[in-house]
Amino acid sequence: MELDIENTRVTILLNDNNNKVYAVAMTKERLEAITTAIKMAIEYAVPTGKTQGELVKFLEMEMKK
């Protein structure tokens, strides 16, 4: 199955020096600009087979190690 990049959603997470993960917030205009730039830069997307919720849960477990 081929990924339709145009109709995907971009999720942005930041990691600090202490391995803490942060979700980010910005204006709609800035989010649209970043989303467009990311989609244009994508060369390949690796499927994880996981939902966003499953990924967040995994990251939470990894951060506790």
Question: Which string of b and e fits 1-28 if b means at least 16 CB within 10 Å?
Answer: eeeeeeeeeeeeeeeeeeeeeeeeeeee
Tally of domains within the chain: 1
28 is in which domain, residue-wise?
5-64
The DSSP line for the chain is ----GGG-----EEE-TT--EEE----HHHHHHHHHHHHHH-S-----S--HHHHHHHHHHHHH-
State pTM to two decimals.
0.64
Give, for all 65 residues of the chain, the pLDDT tens digit: 578 888 888 888 888 888 788 888 999 999 999 999 999 999 988 888 889 889 878 877 777 76
